[in-house]
Structure 1
Amino acid sequence: MKLLILAICGLVAHVSATALTYSVSANERACFYADLKTTGLKVAFYFAVQSGGAFDIDYVVTSPSMKTIIDGEKERQGDFVFTANEIGEYRFCFLNEMSTFAEKLVDFEIVVENEDHAPLPLGMGQTSDDANGESLLDNSIHSISGKLTSVARSQKYFRTRENRNFSTVNSTESRIFYFSIVEVVAIVSMAALQVLLVQFFFTGSRKGFI
């Protein structure tokens, strides 16, 4: 259930991954698809805007019957989980149509998994106690997997915060630099204007104006 179909600008490509990073151009609508063969599956959808503009983007998630499941405007990041009640292609779209020139670098992840895990079958020579032990082990593995996923998402969150803070620092440094240049130009211009005024009043025949 990890096969995604990427459809952008009329081109279709198969991507055998659920964690992707994509640059959404200005005035672009980028959609990704997850094809589900059964109902009752749990779908996790995470995204974070890494760079571009005000670090926000519009998004919408629709079912195979084109019903809106999740949507939002000018969001910086999101983490959602929903149960798929229909069979078919679920559409995950990022809309950068509000921007006229800014590209948005979006890091996102789509995970599809069963809500219920089937019990392990009994092997030869196994007792019910052994099966219960393996069931507990299986539950522990799934619990650890869930915690690792949570840790990975926390790392992505901190990486996103780091990118945003770094971008803010760069923007502040650029503003200070250009403001300093403007300030220096203004000071030099005022000094030159004062020199010209002094020369105007004290040069040649214009002394009578004083």
Structure 2
Amino acid sequence: MSILARAVLRPHLIAAVTLALALLATVVSAFTVRVAPHASTCFYEDLRIDQKTLVTFQVGEGGSLDVDFWVSDPNDAMLQLDHRVSQGTYQLIPSIAGKYTYCFSNQMSSISEKLVQFSVHGADVPPVDPKGTLCAPIVDPVMEIVNELARDIHSIKEEQQYIVTRERAHRNTAESTNARVMWWSLLQTAMLVAVCLFQIYYLKHFFEVRRVI
């Protein structure tokens, strides 16, 4: 390859690598939010037409581990509505550009706060070479590798998030069970002590000899 060809290709490689790093940095966004009783928490994404976006969520703490989930488009038309779900996945392929809304609702609960962990995939991914400034023979293989890495990262993060959420839920259950066992044991001990004191008092008065003056 000539020096001139290398000089021409080098900026394209730099741009392709920069785009790849941007994709890897923004392909997955993970969040944790607490939803108060009788409340809803909503988030917004500005999406382009056909910009595929995947929203996954899981309830880690609170009550029956369930929330209501819905997605609406820029015209406030309901695209998805799920009642009392513990986890879910929704793939959004916008037919119109604009602000899309997805919400987690805890309206059904009166006292329990819910901890919701969710991830958004693809919402911040920039368009590939919108002005045609990159060299297609170079960008295509790089983008293919980036997409494969993005899928792998997505899978790893989903698995990690699932394990962390399940571990937290099981830990909370174990701690709650241990606390109940402890309080029940203390109650049984207190009852046993009270019964023993009552028996001692009763036997003492039963065998007591009363003198008649």
Q: TM-score range by the shorter chain?
A: 0.7 to 0.9
Larger RCO, structures 1/2 (Cα 8 Å, 6+ apart): 2
| Equivalent residue number for residue 35 of structure 1 | 46
Which residue number in structure 2 is paired with residue 176 of structure 1? Answer: 181
**TM-score, L = length of structure 1:** 0.75
* Structure 2 residue 30 is matched with structure 1 residue 25: no
Distance 2:131 2:180 in 1: 62
AA paired with 1:34? E
1:67 aligns with 2:81: no
* Distance in structure 2 (CA, Å) of the matches to 1:141 and 1:110: 17
Count of paired positions: 183
Q: TM-score, normalised by structure 2?
A: 0.74
- Pick one of 184, 190, 205 that aligns with 1:200: 205
Structure holding more strand per residue = 1
The answer to whether the 8 Å contact 1:58/1:94 transfers is: yes
Measure how far apart 1:113 and its partner are.
Answer: 6.1
Q: Could you tell me which residue of structure 2 aligns to residue 83 of structure 1? A: 93
Q: Which of the two has greater helix per residue?
A: 2
- 1:163 equivalenced with 2:173 (yes/no): no
SS at match of 1:84: coil
Q: Partner letter of residue 20 of structure 1? A: F
| Identity between Structure 1 and Structure 2 (%) | 27
C-alpha spacing 1:119/1:94, structure 2 compared with 1 (3 Å): closer
Determine if the alignment matches structure 1 residue 138 to structure 2 residue 148: no
CA distance in 1, matches of 2:167, 2:29: 23
Structure 1 stretches lacking a partner, 5+ long? 1-16
Residues 8-33 of structure 1: CA distance to partner in whole angstroms, max 9, x if unpaired? xxxxxxxxx94322211111111111
SS in 2 for 1:203: coil
- State which of 100, 106, 121 in structure 1 corresponds to 2:116: 106
Specify the SS of the correspondent of 1:108. strand
**SS of structure 2 residue aligned to 1:141:** helix
Show CA shifts across 1:23-53 (max 9, x none): 11111111111122x3212121111223222
Q: Do 1:47 and 1:107's aligned partners in 2 also have CA atoms closer than 8 Å?
A: yes
Q: Which runs of 5+ in 2 are unaligned?
A: 1-27
